Amino acid sequence: MKLRYVSRGEKGELHIGYAPSLTIKLLPQALKSFQEANPSVRVVLHDFSTEEMLNGLREGELQMALLKHPPDKSLRGLTFEELNRFAVRVATNRTHRWVVTS
């Protein structure tokens, strides 16, 4: 199935790789919007590692992937488009040496 058929809303399947921790806020709303606009297209999600997603894109198994920016050398033949930036936080026990007290 070619992506152009999916983009026209024709029946088909769209395979998307994703990193769950990075897409928890982005993916549900994006899928909802896509499915409302393209009810005949079945979206199949693949919980892959970054390497598996990049290989899946190159081999045609995936049409797109949601992932953190990999090293430029691993993007050979692929296009990367930034969708969002997320603040990264660390959680620790209150007694951990990294905890800053006022």
The amino acid at 50: T
Instruction: Please report, for the chain, the start and end positions of each structural domain, with discontinuous segments joined by +.
Output: 3-75
Sign of CA dihedral 83, 24, 79, 3: negative
β-pairing, 41-47 vs 64-66, is unpaired
pLDDT of residue 2: 47
- pLDDT tens series, the chain, 102 aa: 445 554 566 667 777 776 666 667 778 888 899 899 999 999 998 988 888 999 999 999 999 898 877 888 888 888 888 887 777 666 667 776 666 665
Beta strands in 2-74, from DSSP E residues, in sequence order: 12-18, 41-47, 64-66
CATH fold of 3-75: D-Maltodextrin-Binding Protein; domain 2 (3.40.190)
Q: Six-digit token pair at 72?
A: 């430029």
41 forms bridges with which residues in the sheet?
12
pLDDT of residue 27: 83
Q: Exposed/middle/buried for 34, CB within 10 Å: 0-12, 13-18, 19+?
A: middle
